[in-house]
Chains A and B, each alone.
Chain A
Amino acid sequence: MSEQNLKVDVTDLIKDYGNNHVLKGLNLQVKNNEVVCMIGPSGSGKSTFLRCLNKLEDPTAGQIVIDGHDISNKNTNMNHVREKIGMVFQHFNLFPNLTVLENITLAPIELKKMTKQKAEATAHDLLKNVGLDEKANAYPASLSGGQEQRVAIARALEMQPDIMLFDEPTSALDPEMVGDVLDVMKNLAKQGMTMIVVTHEMGFAKEVADRVVFMADGHIMEEGRPADLFDHPKNPRTQDFLRKVLNA
């Protein structure tokens, strides 16, 4: 595996909140076009790990290299790195004061990445892809959760990111909305987007992931191809977790 091919390279990542040790030395490498799903019990540190990757959380120690940029280095311009990392949140976090279209075009226009026309054309294309172009001029408050999340994905994609991070994207959705959002994500995976997905959707992980990472207590306990990890988990913690979630 050549260095160039690595999109994410995390070494000995530690995150403490005072005496609360959330991440206890994590190592993870993600290749270009790879889809990695992170599973594990609540409080295991999955979301914190994901948020460290675009520095919404400041790591306590360790090294994180994204696309060749060492973001643990204080001199790295995080704004530039973040432009290339799309992030999708559990609670969508659409901007309620802006229309769907403005939500999507705000960043590229503000950052002068695109002209207004170009940004809006791209936004309409993206909205078509997620099936919501007719909502372009609506405000987020008038959308359902599933629609909001698809807009949020379109908003992240508008910046043409190299990597997409998903932080439990379907956890806040009504069950009938989950499918639409997962479909959008599957399409994205098919198109070769590098993705790290923190999720409780085991079906999605099985079907889409190239690799599944199981986290517990701030450690990566086990990782492997979905078929191996789901059908033949080696670590007793993994076995225990899978028994609980799959039989639920």
Chain B
Amino acid sequence: MRKRLLCLGTVLLACLSFFTFFSTKTQAAEKTYTIGTDITYAPFDFQDSNGHYTGIDIDLIKAIAKEEGFKVKLKPVGFNAAVQAVEANQMDGVIAGMTITNARKQQFDFSDPYYYAGEVMAVKQGSSIKSLEDLRGKKVALKVGTLGASYANSIKKKYGFTTTEFDQSNDMYNDVTSGNSAAAFEDYPVMAYGIRNGMKMKIVTKPKAGGSYGFAVKKGENQELLTKFNTGLSHLKKNGQYDKIVAKYLGKSAQAKEKKAATSNDGLLSLVKQNKSSLLSGLGQTLYLTFISIILATILGVIVGLMQVMPVKWVNWLSSIIIYIFRGMPLLVLALFIYIGVPNLTGSKISAFVAGIITLTLNEGAYTAAFVSGGIKAVDPGQMEAARSLGLPYGKAMRRVILPQGVKIMVPSFINQFIITLKDTSILSVIGILELTQTGKIIIARNLQGFKVWTIIAIMYIVIITLLTWLSKFVERRIND
């Protein structure tokens, strides 16, 4: 028994070291900075029709890096994920149309402002709402954490409207164009850019209560990077490059070029064609995540499941705790905790991908453990007694007699869990992994065709889930023969 425990311990250790292998210490690279950006914040951060990330923020940070002689590794993960990653030391800085506020200054050090943006209110084209006064009793769509949101919240009592908040700009716009909300508040350039690119809305107020965008690093850290940014910015402003960048996206010549990509009359097939490479790489990432997670979750699940039925009290206890915690925690919370929280605790970076794998492994592993131990317990206890009474040690009895019977009971649960794992990968879009769902969000941020893109994504999920189900059924038949 002692030997078995030792074995178990070794396996667990191996799993742990596998994870730590992927989590590298901070400051490994010297002159390369990892910078987080938004992905759905045109014209500052968005993906062009070729699948490249572009925008004022992107061009600006690249130009400054060139000017100041450092390298940037851009991580287009979305505003929230980027900000949290910087707080967690997962990234060195964030440039994401981030408004400089006093509250944010508690957590971040900001560069000199690089853009001034006022807040405007926009309504659906043809709407009768023309001013803030018209909003009384209406609902207003906002994007979480934006200055537009805090501006709207600060005046909502006065003008008597209610608010609803979204994670993605596109969801906010759609809520207005579909008529659910009466208006949206957003930074002027963002709103103007969207409308110019085919969004059926109009701006009805003058820019107000504006703020300035700044590049941010975690408070007290990466000061050198901040200085470089400021020096670079002032150079670019002097030599005219800054104005060129802004004009590229907000100038007159910019609109015609991008407008083409955003006409809302594209058919599904032509949308698929346009976004083929993004969709395929998102699909690939989803499959890769699923594949690795299924394997690791199955290993973890079987180990913890066996621990649950071992005739050793404290091992059962440990197993119960693992199942209780990781089955009890929502996947979304677990993903954020591991990606944002763990680096804060340990000081080690984890890539979003590894954090995603760990999240899925723990969560799906806990469910797997529960049905593995259930399957073992469903085997007649007389089987274990008969095997032991022949002199077979516990491990041999488990392996030769109990598990072969238990596995048959577990197979349908395994198939079910594989499918759930595949679907759960979509939740990892929250930490910025570019899997299928995140890919969808990004495409929509560019072309503003939410309904069609989500249709395509949904079909893709259904197809791969069908394939996975077939594969599983095939394996099930082989096991039962």
- Which residues on A are within 8 Å of B, measured CB to CB? 54, 56, 79-80, 82-83, 85-87, 89, 91, 93-98, 106-107, 110-111, 152, 155-156, 159
- Which residues on B are within 8 Å of A, measured CB to CB? 380, 382-383, 385-393, 396, 400-401, 404-405
From residue A101, how far is it (CB to closest CB) to chain B in Å?
A: 14
Residues of B within 8 A of A54 (CB): 389
Please determine whether B401 and A79 come into contact, CB atoms closer than 8 angstroms: no
| CA–CA, A97 and B388, complex, Å | 16
Please determine whether A96 and B405 come into contact, CB atoms closer than 8 angstroms: yes
Please determine whether B396 and A110 come into contact, CB atoms closer than 8 angstroms: yes
From residue B202, how far is it (CB to closest CB) to chain A in Å?
A: 71
Residues of B within 8 A of A91 (CB): 382
Residues of A within 8 A of B380 (CB): 93
| CA–CA, A93 and B405, complex, Å | 13
From residue B53, how far is it (CB to closest CB) to chain A in Å?
A: 55
Please determine whether A79 and B391 come into contact, CB atoms closer than 8 angstroms: yes
Residues of B within 8 A of A97 (CB): 401, 404-405
- Can you name the residue of chain B whose Cβ is closest to the Cβ of A109? B400
From residue A248, how far is it (CB to closest CB) to chain B in Å?
A: 28
Please determine whether B391 and A107 come into contact, CB atoms closer than 8 angstroms: yes
From residue B354, how far is it (CB to closest CB) to chain A in Å?
A: 39
Additional A-B contacts beyond A82-B391, A95-B386, A155-B390 (16; CB < 8 A):
A56-B385, A82-B389, A82-B390, A85-B389, A87-B386, A91-B382, A93-B383, A93-B386, A95-B383, A97-B404, A106-B392, A106-B401, A111-B392, A111-B396, A152-B386, A159-B390
| CA–CA, A156 and B383, complex, Å | 14
| CA–CA, A155 and B392, complex, Å | 13
**Which of B382, B390, B396, B400 interacts with A83 by CB under 8 Å?**
B390
Report whether over half of chain B's contact residues are helix, strand or loop; otherwise say mixed.
Answer: helix
Please determine whether B390 and A89 come into contact, CB atoms closer than 8 angstroms: no
From residue A10, how far is it (CB to closest CB) to chain B in Å?
A: 18
Please determine whether B382 and A89 come into contact, CB atoms closer than 8 angstroms: yes
Please determine whether B393 and A56 come into contact, CB atoms closer than 8 angstroms: no
| CA–CA, A98 and B404, complex, Å | 10
| CA–CA, A94 and B401, complex, Å | 10
Report 15 cross-chain contacts, Cβ distance below 8 Å, ordered by A residue.
A56-B389, A79-B391, A82-B388, A82-B389, A82-B391, A86-B389, A89-B382, A89-B385, A94-B386, A97-B401, A97-B404, A107-B390, A111-B391, A155-B390, A156-B390
Residues of B within 8 A of A159 (CB): 390-391
| CA–CA, A93 and B385, complex, Å | 8
Please determine whether A89 and B391 come into contact, CB atoms closer than 8 angstroms: no
| CA–CA, A187 and B404, complex, Å | 35
**Which of A82, A95, A111 interacts with B401 by CB under 8 Å?**
A95
Residues of B within 8 A of A85 (CB): 389
- Can you name the residue of chain A whose Cβ is closest to the Cβ of B405? A97
From residue B284, how far is it (CB to closest CB) to chain A in Å?
A: 39
| CA–CA, A156 and B391, complex, Å | 10
- Can you name the residue of chain B whose Cβ is closest to the Cβ of A80? B391
From residue A65, how far is it (CB to closest CB) to chain B in Å?
A: 18
From residue B479, how far is it (CB to closest CB) to chain A in Å?
A: 11
Please determine whether A95 and B385 come into contact, CB atoms closer than 8 angstroms: no
From residue A79, how far is it (CB to closest CB) to chain B in Å?
A: 5
Residues of A within 8 A of B404 (CB): 97
| CA–CA, A86 and B386, complex, Å | 10
| CA–CA, A69 and B133, complex, Å | 94
From residue B312, how far is it (CB to closest CB) to chain A in Å?
A: 14
Residues of B within 8 A of A95 (CB): 383, 386-387, 401, 405
Please determine whether B390 and A106 come into contact, CB atoms closer than 8 angstroms: yes
- Can you name the residue of chain B whose Cβ is closest to the Cβ of A106? B400
Residues of A within 8 A of B383 (CB): 93, 95
- Can you name the residue of chain A whose Cβ is closest to the Cβ of B382? A93
Question: A89-B382, A93-B380, A93-B383 known; A56 and B401 CB under 8 Å?
Answer: no
Residues of A within 8 A of B392 (CB): 79, 106-107, 110-111
Please determine whether B393 and A79 come into contact, CB atoms closer than 8 angstroms: yes
From residue A99, how far is it (CB to closest CB) to chain B in Å?
A: 13
From residue B417, how far is it (CB to closest CB) to chain A in Å?
A: 23
| CA–CA, A137 and B372, complex, Å | 30
When A and B form their complex, which 6 residue pairs have the shortest distance between CB atoms, in order from nearest?
A83-B391, A93-B386, A107-B390, A87-B389, A93-B382, A82-B391
Residues of A within 8 A of B382 (CB): 89, 91, 93
